[in-house]
Amino acid sequence: MGPGPVNADPRVLRAMSAQLVGQYDPSMTAYMNETMELYRGVFKTANEQTVLIDGTSRAGIEAALVSLISPGDRVLVPIFGRFGHLLREIAERAGAEVHVREIEWGTVFTPAQIEQAIRETKPALLAIVHGDTSTTVAQPLDELGDICARHGVLFYTDVTASLAGNTFEADAWGLDAVTAGLQKCLGGPSGSAPATFSPRAALVINARKSIEAGIREAGDAVSAHPIRSNYFDLSMIFDYWGPKRLNHHTEATTMLYGARECARLLVDEGIDTAVERHRLHGAAMLAGVQGLGLAVFGDLEHRMNNVVAVHIPEGVTGDAVRGELLNDFGIEIGTSFGPLHGKVWRIGTMGYNARKDTVLTTLAALEQVLRRAGAGVTGGGGVGAAYEVYQDAARAASVAETGPA
Ligand SMILES: *Cc1c(COP(=O)(O)O)cnc(C)c1O
């Protein structure tokens, strides 16, 4: 029950135990095409270029940034948590002239602040995290696409922590590049990074197209300024996933099975239903920790559905409580980074673990462990408050079905 990785869905684990097939086996290329289509549904996009990057989420970030940024390009990175710093670091390594804006952890930027920063820095690319698990808040993105379009700026976001647990719409919000990972709300293991790129982003990327010697044919145009990574060269990855099937890396077959099953689970459930499930169990967990008498960190209005940061009570050793939860109850909750280290725990309700039984069990266990640690907690207050959230939701659902009494 930490901020990720969390338990994988058993269906994903089963899918990943299937036998391997060759990378040009018709069933493999059919899986690739099917996976592209499934992730179009998950990202809510019509983008042709919707692929998996082999590697953890940051492989997706690195592929997007190194392929979109030409050395010397100005890039704006608004930072509101640990992963904003990561975007800056990767953009710098890609040779960008990076401009940052920082705000206090636990808060988000207003669209006006972002537009002002765009006016001041005139970037080619805006790179911003959607949900940052380090602070548990989600940056609203819905108004930023229009701003980027007005100023001719490419718009990239990292949705690793938020996708499938919080509303996200790549096309409606005007995103040019989006990358994710499996180990948060998607219910899979880390190791594959689903990603999508708008036609505008694909144009920028393909303007630096490479085709490796040995598979290049007469007449193939090759850029004089290729993307500075071979492994993460999206122009080559697009040709590998596209109809040309030009050889690049050997697709990580087992991760593809896993990523495909994560998306199939979401499409079966309905992506909006999955978001609503995260909202419900996240709300129950929030009410539960508050019902225990614990204080919650961050701007609650912009809280992510799938993770909550809880202040460690005075006199309690954070890691001792985490240790007891793990050893006595088999429940893992998260520590935290940077300015929040030692001050808050992060408790997740995501992916396969966004369920009523996990929420209630975690709250019951936390109460007992905190009591033993000498913290003043409200007896039964956690489970009781969570139950109220579930009862309200059940009542609302039955009213919706049968009409008011
Ligand atoms: C968890 C998380 C990641 C994780 O990156 P990995 O390479 O998979 O470890 C990236 N970005 C955000 C916003 C996250 O919350």
Residue 39, domain extent: 10-267
Q: Is 227 found in the same domain as 176?
A: yes
In terms of domains, do 365 and 262 share one? no
Mind listing the pLDDT tens digit for each residue in 213-237?
899 988 888 898 999 999 999 999 9
CA distance 201 to 205: 6
Residues 31 and 178 in one domain: yes
pLDDT at 405: 59
Q: Are residues 160 and 194 in the same domain?
A: yes
Q: Which residues line ligand 1 (CB under 6 A)?
A: 4, 56-58, 83, 129, 132-133, 158, 160-161, 181, 190
Whether 127 and 263 map to the same domain: the answer is yes
* Together in a domain, 206 and 331: no
Q: Is the pLDDT of residue 404 over 80?
A: no
403: pLDDT strictly greater than 80? no
Asked whether the predicted pLDDT for residue 260 surpasses 90, the reply is yes
Name the token pair of 293. 């008498």
Q: What is the mean pLDDT of residues 351-362?
A: 98
- 3-class SS at 290? helix
Mean pLDDT of 320-345: 96
For the chain, give the percent of residues with pLDDT over 70. 100
Instruction: Identify whether 5 is part of a domain.
Output: no
Give the β-pairing of 137-138 and 131-132.
antiparallel
Q: How far apart are CA 122 and CA 156, in angstroms?
A: 15
Residue with tokens 């598979």: 215
Ligand 1 atom with the smallest distance to the CA of 133 is 15
Within-domain flag for 64: yes
Count how many domains the chain has: 2
**Taking residues 321-330, what's their average pLDDT?**
98
Q: What is the mean pLDDT of residues 57-83?
A: 98
Would the pLDDT of 254 be above 80?
A: yes
Residue nearest to atom 8 of ligand 1 (CA): 57
Domain end (from 243, 267, 291): 267
pLDDT value, residue 91:
98
Give the per-residue pLDDT at 119. Answer: 98
Say what the pTM is. 0.97
Residue at a domain's end among 213, 237, 267: 267
Q: Give the mean model confidence (pLDDT) for residues 282-297.
A: 98
CATH at residue 344 = 3.90.1150.10
Pair (162, 275) in one structural domain: no
Say whether both 232 and 279 belong to one domain.
no
* 346 appears as a binding residue in the annotation: yes
Q: Same structural domain for residues 121 and 210?
A: yes
Tell whether 298 and 314 lie within a shared domain. yes
- The percentage of residues in the chain with a pLDDT greater than 90, rounded to a whole number, is 93
Query: 23 or 249: which carries more pLDDT confidence?
Result: 249
Q: Which atom of ligand 1 is nearest to the CA of 159?
A: 13
The residue out of 251, 267, 283 marking a domain boundary is: 267
Residues 255 and 300 in one domain: no
- Residue 99 and residue 109: Cα distance in Å, rounded? 15
pLDDT averaged over every residue in the chain: 96
